[in-house]
Amino acid sequence: MSWSLYVLTANILPYWLRLKDTERGGFYGQVTGDEQVHPDAPRSAVMYGRLLWTFSAAYRVTRNPEYLDAARWTQDYIERFFFDPDYGGVYWSVTADGEPLDAHKQFYAQAFMLYGYSELVRATGDKVALRTAISLFRVIEEYGRDREHLGYIEAASRSWQLLSDMRLSDKDENTIKSQNTNLHVMEAYTAFYRVYRVDEVRAALTMLIDTFTNLILQPSGHLGLFFDETWHPTSLAYSAGHDIECSWLIDEAAEVVGMDVGATVSLLAESARADVHTDGSVGDGEWWNQAEAVVGYLNYYGHTHRQRDLDMVHHIIHFIDTHLIDYQHGEWYWRVNTDGSPDLTHDKAGFWKCPYHSSRMCIHLLSHNL
């Protein structure tokens, strides 16, 4: 068994299968770094959209029916509790009992639900799931798209009115647009276009690719993070993890619509290289940075065929294998402390911590026999 298949099927997915809530449905909303399960913790649309993607993708590549059952289990909870029956779209969060907790509509969350449903359709051909995916695409296009200045806004109220506070999290600036939201709308539209090849989706995806190459990508070679309505950046900050993640996501998007973004891929991958440290950690060392850097440099190696880019992949994998994976309990730690010990102060599973980045890395490695 390859390392990537082992990590996917023996480390990541079994951990999440143990978190099934057999009484209320779905999966528990939080497990702390020291393995304390909190059954009554809130549950986020982001986590559930990503879980739907993860189990659907795992079923697609392994055909293990246990993963399809888990995808259907996730889908059932989403459709019972996350969809807004009055205004459409999905709530930001619900209680463990399924009551709406925060009913506003973050387009980041709508995108991840679309991503999950698109992968379920890809794995199963489910026509009912496709109709749900189409409905999610419609609400993003109707309420989130800026047809004058391009791209997508951050958030709206439950009834799709503008909000005074559009932040995705407390760490983010309160701006009307961000790279992060637009990146994941592009990711979702790529997956959606694979299963629903209509001109409207193609046009929206092409617009997003152009928005990234012409407006979000900055002269520094990094992506801007936060923007005003007309795409003026509000800070000079950047995220190495998002740079390398975008380098392969925009390449994937361009591939499905027949565009060439090789120059953008190269610029982002080279810019992110400076934030890969000598020990193989990337940026601040959070788990998702590591996983996306593996996929990003593996994709870049497909462009360059240079040994140093493949060596980068193996260097980062070594850090993951040595420091991030919890081989005792399962799953990955949030990140590693400066002394090399695992950071137990952050969740192993939670509102933002789920198996999508790490599982996706494994699936990409499997496709390259690594």
* CA separation, residue 151 to residues 147, 186, 209 (Å): 8, 10, 10
Is pLDDT at 8 greater than 90 in this prediction?
yes
Dig out the tokens for 130 from the structure. Answer: 């496709």
Is pLDDT at 330 greater than 90 in this prediction?
yes
> Topology of 3-367 in CATH?
Glycosyltransferase (1.50.10)
Is pLDDT at 340 greater than 90 in this prediction?
no
Is pLDDT at 357 greater than 90 in this prediction?
yes
Q: How far apart are CA 258 and CA 273, in angstroms?
A: 27
Within 13 Å and on the Cβ side, how many CA atoms surround 32? 8
Residues 6+ apart with CB under 8 A from 113: 45, 48, 49, 52, 78, 82, 90, 136
Mean pLDDT of 41-70: 98
Looking at every residue in the chain, the average pLDDT score rounds to: 97
Q: What is the per-residue pLDDT for 105?
A: 98
Domain regions of the chain by residue span: 3-367
Tokens 């996983």 label which residue?
A: 291
Is pLDDT at 338 greater than 90 in this prediction?
no
Q: How far apart are CA 4 and CA 8, in angstroms?
A: 6
Tens-digit pLDDT profile for residues 110-135 = 999 999 999 999 999 999 999 999 99
pLDDT > 70 fraction of the chain, expressed in percent and rounded: 100
User: pLDDT band for position 65 (50/70/90)?
Assistant: very high
Tens-digit pLDDT profile for residues 277-328 = 999 999 999 999 999 999 999 999 999 999 999 999 999 999 999 999 999 9
User: pLDDT band for position 370 (50/70/90)?
Assistant: confident
Q: What is the per-residue pLDDT for 18?
A: 98
Tens-digit pLDDT profile for residues 19-38 = 999 999 999 999 999 999 99
Burial class (CB in 10 A: 0-12, 13-18, 19+), 164: exposed
Is pLDDT at 78 greater than 90 in this prediction?
yes
Nearest of 111, 107, 129, 108 to residue 195 by alpha carbon: 129
Q: How far apart are CA 125 and CA 114, in angstroms?
A: 15
Tens-digit pLDDT profile for residues 200-240 = 999 999 999 999 999 999 999 999 999 999 999 999 999 99
Residues 6+ apart with CB under 8 A from 155: 104, 105, 106, 107, 163, 166, 168
Q: What is the per-residue pLDDT for 369?
A: 87
Mean pLDDT of 146-164: 97
Residues 6+ apart with CB under 8 A from 337: 343
- This prediction has a pTM of 0.98
Is pLDDT at 106 greater than 90 in this prediction?
yes
Q: What DSSP letter does each residue of 60-106 carry, written as one string?
A: HHH--HHHHHHHHHHHHHHHHHTB-TTT-SB-SEE-TTS-EEE--EE
